[in-house]
Chain A
Amino acid sequence: DARVTQTPRHKVTEMGQEVTMRCQPILGHNTVFWYRQTMMQGLELLAYFRNRAPLDDSGMPKDRFSAEMPDATLATLKIQPSEPRDSAVYFCASGSGTGGWTGELFFGEGSRLTVL
């Protein structure tokens, strides 16, 4: 069963610490999205990539967040330094975005981050 894999599933850290979340998209998918979900804001688009190139990261606080795709099988979202307001569930989703665009995003199970 092809699926998007996210690690860690849960992370508790202290304010000021660096946090790195990882995502393995479905093999063959060339579009990767990062979303943040909170009760107050719902699902917010942080960044997305096509063919490993960042297309839009306007939703991401640039001073502390960074997103990369070191290779086609790994996407990372890093927060440094972390703050309590970053506590949320972070979702990665992948899809096929060229030629046969199916329009469907496949979501991972999320990384629940708690910053104390």
Chain B
Amino acid sequence: AQSVTQPDIHITVSEGASLELRCNYSYGATPYLFWYVQSPGQGLQLLLKYFSGDTLVQGIKGFEAEFKRSQSSFNLRKPSVHWSDAAEYFCAVGTTSGTYKYIFGTGTRLKVLA
């Protein structure tokens, strides 16, 4: 069965510091991988996605993520965090056949200190 694990429930970083949010997945084949961001009171917005090819993908708002097959990971990074990045971040796995099902992780809430 597919699953997604985000081991960090909360992360606090100072503005200007670098950020890495962890995501591990379980899926029998090469999955589609996604990171979404949710601001308070809002729906989720896609940051970036990986389907195939280059394992380092760039997204919006200066985010990037690296797919590591050997570690079943898809960690999200940003070199310098801005106060406006405070939000909840969700990693998701999409199945690559049949029903294109999406499974979300439990989310990581990011707090940014001024």
Contacts and interface: CB of A to CB of B under 8 A. Distances in A.
Contacts of B104: 35, 42-43, 45
Interface of A is mostly: strand
Interface size class of B (residues with CB under 8 A): 20 to 34
Contacts of B44: 91, 93, 105, 107
Contact of B94 (A35, A42, A50, A103): A103
Contacts of B106: 42-43
B110 to A, nearest CB: 16
A108 B34 CA distance: 18
13 contacts: A33-B102, A35-B104, A43-B90, A93-B43, A93-B44, A97-B100, A103-B32, A103-B34, A103-B51, A107-B44, A109-B42, A109-B43, A110-B43
Interface of A: 4, 31, 33, 35, 42-43, 45, 48, 50, 55-56, 91, 93, 95, 97, 101, 103-105, 107-110
